[in-house]
Structure 1
Amino acid sequence: MSAIAWTAAGSLVAWLWLLLGQGFFWRTDVRLPPRTEPAVWPDVCVVVPARDEAEMLPASLPSLLAQDYPGRAEVILVDDGSTDGTGELARALAQRHGGLPLTVDSPGEPPAGWTGKLWAVRHGIGLARARGPEYLLLTDADIAHAPDSLRALVAAARTGGFDVVSQMARLRVESRWERLVVPAFVYFFAQLYPFRRIGRKGARTSAAAGGCVLLRTEAAERARIPDAIRHAVIDDVALARTVRSIGGHLWLGLAERVDSVRPYPRLHDLWRMVARSAYAQLRHSPLLLAGTVAGLAVVYLVPPVALVVGAAGGGTAAAVLGGSAWLVMTGTYVPMLRYYRQPLWLAPLLPFTAFVYLLMTVDSAVQHYRGRGAAWKGRTYARPGAVPDEG
């Protein structure tokens, strides 16, 4: 066989292993586990870090204030140095909509060694602990919750004995680029962190989705959250790994009624979202970057190239092996497209999307070595701390 045929064969083997040996990552049926409502509902504080979120709050904050929760609950919004009136708008929305009590406070600028979001979370958790809640719901200012979201999260945590219950919010998919990039973002995340493995006690795989994390207060105190992860850019994964390190029990799955309202209409918007943390995910390692680029090329780009080159040049083996690998790849992507209610003709385009992600990852590394690091909401973290190692 030719070199391209052998490479396509390697890609096919990789896809067969991903299909069967990577925790069935491609399945989208990991939703909130069976739960029983407790006889006495525990107290909960909802902590919302917000920086320049005036545009998002009207679609997200009222959904938190309107939570149908049988126990005592309140919302703490931490205004992280906003310049667009985020805090004032939050108070106005609370007066207009009523519902759960709302506290708005600001921690000031983060000291050296802290990311802005985690400094805001620390301030919010400090305010919450004075109320003595059993659980903390950490949720972003661009996340809208169904009225029974908090109720379902707490019931699942109590029933399963989980220290962390996290849902991957359904991201917005409306523009052309959102349709092409967003479902793949969640697909790649699940491939790295198979949800089924995360829910097993004692598993090494640990992750959470930062937009919606219900955290047992006692576990947060033992794990020193967020102080222990104060410089992590990928704070949700860092949080999960730290809670796991103290023997905590985690659960992560796809949301049914928790949605992100933040739009990413242009490729530039999506590029910034991914590139700001992609190299941090690789622990700023040139070796891991090279391996990732090579892996993406072999697994995602070789199959269509082998099919086209083999078909054009009479290389039957290359065409068959490349086409088979592409077929398996396409099949694993179909469930995610269905979850996002997108047309299935997007599934064969996954190699193109993977190539875009490859470029985003390389750009993330370039920005890091230019000293720009992770930039978000007017702050730049030149050398953010790496996520703690598993185990």
Structure 2
Amino acid sequence: MPRETAEYPGVSYVMPVLNEVEHIEAAILSLTGQDYPGECEIVLALGPSVDGTNRVIEEMAKADPRIRSIENELGSTPGGLNAAIRASHFPIVVRVDAHSVLPPNYTRIAVETLLRTGADNVGGIMKAEGVTPFERAVAHAYGSKAGLGGTPHHVGGKEGPAETAYLGTFQRHRLLEVGLFDEGIKRGQDWELNRRLRATGGTVWFTPDLEVVYRPRSSLVKLIRQFVATGIWRGELARRFPSENGLRYFVPPLAVIGVVLGLVLGTIGAIAGTWLVFAYLVPALYALFVVVATIPVLGSEGIRAALWHLVALPCIHFGWGAGFVLGYFKLSRNITAHTGR
């Protein structure tokens, strides 16, 4: 029987769940299959799913008493995380995503690293893996510098203190001290929480020894929605905390503005027969960048994934960049609805 010790303290897995019938069983099985010797519980904060997700969870909970569910009254990711954390009992909290699949040694390595470093939060690499050609194309974009900018939790790096971390294994008492996740932030709440942990003298720790399989969105529409929403909230966070958002966050919105202006001015120049036609060089250079970034996909994933990459990569850039502009200049109802501003 697992038991809680100083070396292996009890662990609470917390996961907000909403309409994840495609992924939820694999996500939960990756938790029940951990090789961690200590005690654990799995607390699922359930939103109003309409796709059968909650029925799957109900059946799994009958088979394993470690699995229990609570209601996510707010229905949002931070609201669900906070509800699950408040309902948890153990001193270590492991955040889990319904799209993630943890390797069997994940918890053991995370807790050992947390205790060894004295960090408040430990995270690793989000290793995107797809099944269909579209998903494989998106997964490649996730894990490349051309796609999401090459941050350590996407492409790897050296172990050490970090600005933020993917998912996260937390000291529960520190989560409570800083006030848990900000329920007014729909996306990017992990970055903002880690900001508060660091601001109060804590450490966020990255280790490449932790690698989590992440399942990308399965369609282009879902991908665009994801990145527009993510961009909106990153823009909001950049406006709220200007000194803590590096220049890399402004690259996608500047690229979007540059390409759009290049197309508009170039078209005006072509019609009027003026030098403005050279503005077409900006979108042309961007198109070349996308093609060059797609060459490795052709070699590793095949022609169908490469063709999807030519579409998915600009959708990621433009979705995120356009969302950032909307969020930064407070032009989105998405933010107004969740902040009261």
TM-score, length of structure 1 as denominator length: 0.62
Displacement of 1:88 in angstroms is 3.5
Change (3 A) 1:351 1:224: same
1:296–1:354 contact (8 Å) kept in structure 2: no
Displacement of 1:291 in angstroms is 6.4
Displacement of 1:62 in angstroms is 1.8
Deviations, residues 260-307 of structure 1 (Å, cap 9, x unaligned): 24x5333222212211111321228899998644347889xx9xxxxx
1:183-332 matched pairs, under 5 angstroms? 183-188=140-145, 191=149, 193-194=151-152, 200-201=160-161, 206-209=163-166, 212-226=167-181, 228=182, 230-253=184-207, 258-261=212-215, 264-283=217-236, 292-295=252-255
Which residue matches 1:357? 316
Displacement of 1:78 in angstroms is 1.2
2:79–2:183 contact (8 Å) kept in structure 1: no
Secondary structure of 2:45's match?
strand
Which residue matches 2:79? 119
Change (3 A) 1:94 1:146: farther
Displacement of 1:124 in angstroms is 0.7
Displacement of 1:81 in angstroms is 2.5
Q: Which runs of no fewer than 5 residues in structure 1 stay unpaired?
A: 1-37, 303-317, 374-380, 386-391
TM-score, length of structure 2 as denominator length: 0.70
Which letter does structure 2 place at the counterpart of 1:267?
L
Q: How many residues align?
A: 297
Which residue matches 2:44? 77
Instruction: From 65, 70, 86, give the equivalent of 2:53.
Output: 86
Work out which structure has the larger RCO, using CA pairs closer than 8 Å and 6 or more positions apart in sequence.
Answer: 1
Q: What fraction of aligned residue pairs are identical, expressed as a percent?
A: 18
Question: How far apart, in 1, do the equivalents of 2:258 and 2:207 lie?
Answer: 29
1:138–1:214 contact (8 Å) kept in structure 2: yes
Change (3 A) 1:124 1:187: same
Question: How far apart, in 2, do the equivalents of 1:62 and 1:84 lie?
Answer: 19
Change (3 A) 1:70 1:234: same
Deviations, residues 144-169 of structure 1 (Å, cap 9, x unaligned): 22222211211121122221111333
Change (3 A) 1:126 1:371: same
RMSD: 4.3
Which residue matches 2:69? 104
Which residue matches 2:271? none
Instruction: From 176, 180, 183, give the equivalent of 2:133.
Output: 176
1:198–1:207 contact (8 Å) kept in structure 2: no
Which letter does structure 1 place at the counterpart of 2:220?
L
Which residue matches 1:51? 18
Secondary structure of 1:146's match?
coil
1:198–1:206 contact (8 Å) kept in structure 2: no
Change (3 A) 1:82 1:363: same
Secondary structure of 1:283's match?
helix
Q: Which has the larger displacement, 119-128 or 244-253?
A: 244-253
Question: How far apart, in 1, do the equivalents of 2:317 and 2:38 lie?
Answer: 46
Question: How far apart, in 1, do the equivalents of 2:237 and 2:37 lie?
Answer: 45
1:143-162 matched pairs, under 5 angstroms? 143-162=100-119
Deviations, residues 79-115 of structure 1 (Å, cap 9, x unaligned): 122234433421311334x3x611211142x2xxxx7
